[in-house]
Homo-oligomer: A and B are copies of this chain.
Amino acid sequence: MKRILVVSGPNLNMLGRREPDVYGTQTLGDIEAAVVARADDLGVSVSFFQSNHEGALIDRIQAAVDDEDGIIINPGALTHYSYALRDAVASVGLPVVEVHLSNIANREEFRATSVIAPVCLGQISGFGADSYIRGLEALCDVLMGERQ
């Protein structure tokens, strides 16, 4: 059974409490529950990790080299400047899908740039919790060998 790591970056633990007009009312727990349900359908296992610490996120991503087959990452605001996170993603040699809850292209200008995206397989943004679900499906398709 394929194992997938779902990583969420700074402030995503505040979901549901934080700016609902931008991020909706679902908590991160709600999203993770939806991901688990869809993972069950797809026959893959998922692990979750959230941290406000760039270093902890890097530590966890590095550990995936031994423990997981693919990664879904929502880097939060680290998306826009953390070249260290980018290097971690690039170094693990696993397929990585970047997801965002909101459409980062129509908010503040700094959010339109992702320093992580160039080293990912692909990017999904703007669909709220569904961004995670769609990312899970896309990653599974790749892992299942339907697509190289």
Contact = CB atoms under 8 A, between A and B. Distances in A.
Interface of A: 9-11, 13-14, 17-19, 51-56, 58-59, 62, 65, 76-78, 80-84, 86-88, 90-91, 93, 97, 103, 105-106, 110, 112-115, 117-131, 134, 137-138, 141-142, 146-147
- The dominant DSSP class at the A interface is helix
Count the copies: 12
Contacts of A52: 54-55, 58-59, 62, 84, 88
A57 B76 CA distance: 16
A55 B58 contact: no
A81 B78 contact: no
B120 A126 contact: yes
